[in-house]
Structure 1
Amino acid sequence: MSSATETLCGQAFGARHDHMMGIYLQRSWIVDGAAATILLPLVTFAAPIFRLLGQEEDVAIAAGNMSPWFIPYVYYLVFSLTIQMYLQAQLKNEVVGWFSAISFVLHILLSWIFVNKLELGTAGAMGALTISTWSLVIGLLVYIFGGWCPNTWKGFTKAAFADILPVVKLSISSGFMICLEIWYNSIIILAAGYMKNATTAISAFSICHNILAWEFMLSVGFLGAACVRVANELGRGNAKSAKFAIKIILSTSIVIGVVFWVLCLIFGEEISHFLTSDEEVAETVSSLVVLLAFSILLNSVQPVLTGVAVGAGVQSMVAFVNLGSYYIIGLPAGILLGYVVHLEVQGLWMGLLSGVVVQTLILSYIIWRTDWDEQVNKASERLRRWFLKSEKDSIESSTPA
């Protein structure tokens, strides 16, 4: 849901509606905070939910013991994601990077103290996570409130409660867009658990999925860059620059993707033996190397296209594309190839890949056919409709000449 902040703040920054960025940030806190509170029972009642799903009692008890620790983490996400997108929209990526690095170092240090030295176990690990993550939020809030964002943060205002419904709609479509993608991968991994040799299948699938996730971390950077650049240019009213930014970011991401694609094809089997000592799991991973390589290649395209869509504020369109590509094509194809055609893990991954291929092709076609001048007009209309005068402008307009 926080990607709505990227759209609104990015376009506002491009249009030089700087004071509106702080209002959009506060609206995002209200909407995302309410959503987190509504979903909180899923965390607090983890133990009975796990029992209802048929999990073993020791697993349910462990989930129940850990669930209270996730409550502060849920609210950390509300502030962390929105603040980072607010800062990135105004090209303050370096600030986010430095604070994140400090939080990461603190997390390692606290984990070592709480888990290794004090032997607090899971509670220690979760405590370290809570302290380190909230240190990031507190640091970023100090940066914003301390006067380092003078043009975009004018303080708390009642205006944040105005025009909430459009923000809710954009946030919900953003949430569905992301969730449909995350759930897709999770369901595919879950489906691997019903194979004949489930332990080997899940282990191999998880290894390949982690490799894909590592490469995806680079792609997320291009996703953010695409979102910010497109949103800024649309807000600025420059359709030509938006199209040029898309071409540059997409080309750069594809080049990096090709490099990792080649490396995966060359060293795939060696990587499988490096990551596991189980020969059967290593062989299964090796059998997935070619499919993994093409997944990595697509990983260099799909996030950029999603970032472009977020920058343009068309998350609902991407959500429908994800729904059709993943759940109408990809998931049934994976089940069919894995269980009916008996291709096992390879069949599941083929299905996963087919969904991503369809999604990438559809998004590529939509973006290629997009009238960016029309998108500029839509962004301008959105900004005009939600625009509120700053206190300075209001005072000047009310002062007689």
Structure 2
Amino acid sequence: MFRALKARNYRLWASGQIVSLIGTWMQRVAQDWLVLTLSGGSALAVGIVMALQFGPTLFLSVWGGVLADRYDKRRILIATQTAMAVTSLLLAALDIGGVVTLWQVYLIAFAAGCASAIDAPVRQSFTIEMVGRSLLSNAIALNSMTFNLARIIGPAISGVLIVVIGTGWVFALNFVSFGCVLAAMLAMNQDELHPSAHAARARGQIRAGFRYVWGRADLRDLLATVFVVSTFGLNFPISLAVLARNTFDRDADAYGLLSTTLAVGTLAGATLAARRSGPVQMKLFIVAATVFGVFEIAVGLMPSFLLVAIVLVPTGAAVLTFTTSAMNILQMSVKADMRGRVMGIYMLCFLGGTPLGSPLLGWLADVTSPRAPLVVGGAISLAAGVSSGVYLLLNRTRPRSVSNGEAISEPAKGKYGEGSG
């Protein structure tokens, strides 16, 4: 289950990431709570800060993918992680100093979002360089386990620390946590990496990436479904914060608890994914999207805080299966020299809809009910999963991976979207 940890560079990466990601999740909870406090409990304000934080994905993630294909990914990651650490330090200084305002949080969230938009596709495509193709699937699953273990620990700690020491010191702790992942990258043995051949600098490389994706029906289907589900379904930073504060009249620790129970489910899903062997099929991705929609609707309809927390566990497992299967299909079935750009387009679809969905769902929660984003988002996700399945039936071709990682189409025989390895 932990095969990828045989690679020393990946062990360094995973150990640094777990500490850094705990800090990141602590900051996410603290930032949402700070915005709610500064805005008088406005869900729309939380939606706006999310839009500003993830909005740069719309115009920077694909450029991040181009950089990943052209240059040394490790050096790019050191720069982006450093930039995000600086934004955490600035927010901590303003908050601890008692001078923080809502517009300052918006501005810092936007700056951090710019660094993150470049970081994400580079980080995703760097995984294969640490472990090689044979261990990639296991490494992706372990990345998800690390992410979701941090997602359990971070919000739980943050909810308590916000009450005890305040949001500012939580931001300061996140700044310190970045040192761990930076130290890990600096300690890597570059001779043990498996670098992909860098794409030559040329005009039209972004257009070439989009043409490559558009030319494959399986990638069009997958990325369209990711966009819809992520834009409208994965709205938990808004919905859980507002649900805890405005529906159940709870404090920040309750919001942290709900985030933690969701993460328990995603960690369970990641554990199952790490044990899975063989290629991931497109039908698993479609089933996960559909099941997630059903569970998210159920979360929105639960009458008590306890029942919401309980149903969030299987919801988290469905989320993790959805995202991990998408990542496996993409990374295992695309050309090596296109991987960075395809991952950039994936991050564009995964996060690029947030500037649209977050303010809209925040406004919906303000004018109707805090439960509305969950119910509406779940219904849209359910429809997206069903639509993806219909599209699958109407376009019965699947990619067959060849030795250089490029997929070509052939008639399907019950499977779709597989990659070799």
Normalised TM-score (structure 2)? 0.43
Q: Which has the higher contact order (CA 8 A, sep 6+)?
A: 2
Q: Which entry has the higher C-alpha Rg, 1 or 2?
A: 1
Structure (1 or 2) with the greater helix fraction: 1
Normalised TM-score (structure 1)? 0.44
